[in-house]
Amino acid sequence: MTTKATAFTQEASTPERFPEFPPRDDMQNTNHLHLRSILTSLAIHFARRPNTLIHSEMPVSPTLGMQHGVRIPDLMVVFDCDIEDAYRIDGYAIDRQGKPPDFVLEVASKTTGVVDYTAKRGDYERFGIGEYWRFDATGGDYHDAALAADRLVEGAYQPIWIDMTESGVLRGYSDALGLYVCWEQGALRFYDPESQSYLLTHDEEAERADEEAERADEEAAARLQAEAEVRRLRERLNLLGETD
- For residue 105, the SS3 value is strand
The closest of 66, 80, 82, 137 to 106, measured between CA atoms, is 137
Q: How many CB atoms lie within 10 A of CB 53?
A: 22
How far is 88 from 85, CA to CA, in rounded Å?
Answer: 5
DSSP 202-215: HHHHHHHHHHHHHH
Segment 111-131, tens digit of pLDDT: 889 999 999 999 999 999 999
pLDDT cut 70: percent of the chain above it: 83
User: How does residue 232 score in pLDDT terms, banded at 50, 70 and 90?
Assistant: confident
Q: What angle do CA 198, 99, 6 make, to 5 degrees?
A: 120
Can you name the residues that pair with 76 across neighbouring β-strands?
Answer: 55, 104
Instruction: Please tell me what DSSP assigns to residue 168.
Output: S
Q: What angle do CA 104, 106, 107 make, to 5 degrees?
A: 145
How far is 137 from 159, CA to CA, in rounded Å?
Answer: 20
User: How does residue 218 score in pLDDT terms, banded at 50, 70 and 90?
Assistant: low
Q: How many CB atoms lie within 10 A of CB 95?
A: 15
Indicate if the pLDDT at residue 22 is higher than 80.
no
How far is 110 from 87, CA to CA, in rounded Å?
Answer: 30
Higher pLDDT, 157 or 66: 157
